[in-house]
Structure 1
Amino acid sequence: MNPGAQTPDGPAAQPLRSDAERNRGRIIAAARTVFARDGLHASMASVAREASVGIATMFRRFPTKEELVDAVFADRMGAYADAVTVALDDPDPWTGFVGYIEAACAMQAADSGFADVLTTTFPTAKVLERRRNEAYAAMVELIGRAKAAGRLREDFDTSDLVLLHMATAGVVSATGDAAPDAWRRVAALFVQAFEAPARAPLPASPGHDALYRAMLRAEQPPPVPRESGEGG
């Protein structure tokens, strides 16, 4: 097919010039470093500085932060989805479920950016969200198997996994290098709480719609405090 030829989905993307491709690669590599260190609230300007490119070059390659996040983390979301597949392949549903939790939390602990990705949704990051949805569908199946085996408490809900990831992201952010393995205790506490038989009923789930709104809000940077006496 000729470069730029029409495809069933519309015009094909023009191939990048070699210098533009190098800049794109440098930006992605820099974003991996910055997001892993500082999380997703890191600015596009800080990524541009890490990549040693101008901010105009940054926005030519990635007009929005979501496009950059998609490029940086699509493969990691793929690895996350693969972890669910590995869990489904385990002949013991509970062992597979626990192994998935440990693997997913370890991925969060290893990369602050990915810790944020698992608790944030990016509607326009198509590849990232497609892999997230694949992982979710597989996880629903795994949860059903673990419940059928009598090992996962019956009132467990998929939203509990979102809460687990939110808790892990908070612990990873709060402990940093001072206590890098603290997340392991948190994950173990959650696993023990998830296991059947349940010792007591759980409070009502916050609900998928509420958590989705929370994940959308998590995409926004924290507000900058206003100076005392600052005008509107």
Structure 2
Amino acid sequence: MGRQRGGAEPAAAGARPLRRDAELNRRRILQAGREVFAARGLQATLNDVAHHAGLGVGTVYRKYPDKQALAEAVFGEELDEIAAMAQEARAEDDAFAALAGFLERALARAAHNRGLRELMRHGIIEGAGPARARQEITLHCEHLLARARTQGALRDGVTEADIAPIAAMIDAVMALPAEHPSELWRRYLVILLDGLRAHPHQAPLPSLGGAD
């Protein structure tokens, strides 16, 4: 029995470095995925990610069987971080300023992340992680809008359903050719946000369906 115990200890000790190596590889793959998808968009391949990570393609496929699985993990993390921004905004006293600040921070992140913008535009990456984070972002935005409405800072008729189209309009501005295309969007975000503010004598907004 003594030999069995003596033989088991090196195996157990060897298992820990293997687990650490596996976790390090997983983090390398995720970080490489974030960088590659940000630079090249969702057309990037697992081979591209493996090359960027400095790992064999087989190592990547053992962790993530296809690009969809890796993209779900990458954008689950990305959207979790954006949800954390929205949650932080809820702590501010001025709800409209908090909403505006959150939108600016989230869109600034998207301005330098082609994959995130494609995800916003097409919504083609699903999975439990991204879906949960999207729901959390929506709930935080609903809370901020409700508070801004209570504080009298929000234009009548504005709802949480307006946020995604606003983000889409800014995404379209980001795609325009310009000397500094990644910064031009800030001008138009200010204009759009000003349209959300409560002002005296504003005309009623048309309904979301376009009918009176």
How high is the TM-score relative to the length of structure 2?
A: 0.75
The amino acid across from 1:136 in the alignment is T
1:182 paired with 2:184, answer yes
The amino acid across from 2:149 in the alignment is K
Q: SS in structure 2 opposite 1:63? A: coil
- Gap change, CA 1:45 and 1:201, over 3 Å in 2: farther
User: Is contact 1:112–1:172 with CA below 8 Å preserved after alignment?
Assistant: no
Q: 1:199 aligns with which of 194, 202, 208?
A: 202
Residue by residue over 1:60-96, the C-alpha shift from the partner in whole angstroms, topping out at 9 and shown as x without a partner, is 3212333212322333322211222222211122221
Task: Compute the displacement of 1:141 (Å).
Answer: 1.3
Q: What is the rounded CA distance, in whole Å, between the counterparts of 1:16 and 1:163 in structure 2?
A: 47
Between 170-179 and 137-146, the greater mean CA deviation after superposition = 170-179
Q: Which residue of 2 aligns with 1:59?
A: 61
Between 149-158 and 53-62, the greater mean CA deviation after superposition = 53-62
Between 80-89 and 166-175, the greater mean CA deviation after superposition = 166-175
Task: Compute the displacement of 1:203 (Å).
Answer: 4.3
Q: 1:170 aligns with which of 169, 172, 183?
A: 172
The amino acid across from 1:51 in the alignment is A
How high is the TM-score relative to the length of structure 1?
A: 0.69
1:160 paired with 2:162, answer yes
Give unmatched runs, 5+ long, in structure 2.
Answer: 1-16
User: Is contact 1:157–1:205 with CA below 8 Å preserved after alignment?
Assistant: no
The amino acid across from 1:205 in the alignment is L
Total equivalences in the alignment? 192
Equivalent residue runs for 1:35-74 within 5 Å: 35-74=37-76
Q: 2:152 aligns with which of 136, 146, 150?
A: 150
- Gap change, CA 1:22 and 1:149, over 3 Å in 2: closer
Residue by residue over 1:48-71, the C-alpha shift from the partner in whole angstroms, topping out at 9 and shown as x without a partner, is 332344544433321233321232
User: Is contact 1:80–1:135 with CA below 8 Å preserved after alignment?
Assistant: yes
More helix per residue: 1 or 2? 2
Between 167-176 and 103-112, the greater mean CA deviation after superposition = 167-176
Q: What is the rounded CA distance, in whole Å, between the counterparts of 2:130 and 2:19 in structure 1?
A: 26
Q: What is the rounded CA distance, in whole Å, between the counterparts of 1:105 and 1:95 in structure 2?
A: 15
- Tell me the percent identity: 31
Q: What is the rounded CA distance, in whole Å, between the counterparts of 1:75 and 1:206 in structure 2?
A: 34
User: Is contact 2:112–2:182 with CA below 8 Å preserved after alignment?
Assistant: no
User: Is contact 2:30–2:73 with CA below 8 Å preserved after alignment?
Assistant: yes
Q: What is the rounded CA distance, in whole Å, between the counterparts of 1:193 and 1:154 in structure 2?
A: 11
Task: Compute the displacement of 1:143 (Å).
Answer: 0.8
Task: Compute the displacement of 1:176 (Å).
Answer: 7.9
Q: Which residue of 2 aligns with 1:113?
A: 115
Q: What is the rounded CA distance, in whole Å, between the counterparts of 2:76 and 2:51 in structure 1?
A: 23
User: Is contact 2:99–2:144 with CA below 8 Å preserved after alignment?
Assistant: yes
Q: Which residue of 2 aligns with 1:217?
A: none
Between 179-188 and 40-49, the greater mean CA deviation after superposition = 40-49
User: Is contact 2:148–2:154 with CA below 8 Å preserved after alignment?
Assistant: yes
> Which has the larger Rg?
2
1:123 paired with 2:118, answer no
